Structure 1
Amino acid sequence: MLSSLRAAKLLDGFRGAPPADRDALLLLVQRVSALVEALPELLELDLNPVKVLARGQGAVAVDARMRFAPLR
């Protein structure tokens, strides 16, 4: 899935940058998916920006915003 992104070459290291931590990015996507399944009242989730660090150093969501359905 990540290889199909237009920015995929940036994850492999570009212009001297180290390769990104693809495993950490995949784990973040899996965790967000699990969160969406566990919380059906979650209407919106915005993680912006997500910084993918060098291989072995992880990925960080710098800012997050969530919107939930109103309580009934």
Structure 2
Amino acid sequence: MTTGRTYGWVKKYDASGEDALRDGRGRAKAPEELTEVDQQKLAMKKLEHENERLRQLERIQSVIVGRKRSG
């Protein structure tokens, strides 16, 4: 560990306390932490995911109906 890194951690701790030293990488933000634009992007992703799921369901149903008609 370098002296510079240790100094950086001490500086963060002095400025913001123990929470400043927590590793927040990969952590999902709570809804109240998102900007309006980020909330809209998240809602759009959810809708796109739901649309894809419905398309897959529709394809499965059409295969099942096709089997019933031919069988």
Say yes or no: TM over 0.5. Answer: no
Of Structure 1 and Structure 2, the greater strand share is in 1
Of Structure 1 and Structure 2, the greater helix share is in 2
TM-score calculated relative to the size of structure 1: 0.31
Query: Whose relative contact order is higher, 1 or 2, with alpha carbons under 8 Å and at least 6 apart?
Result: 1
TM-score calculated relative to the size of structure 2: 0.31
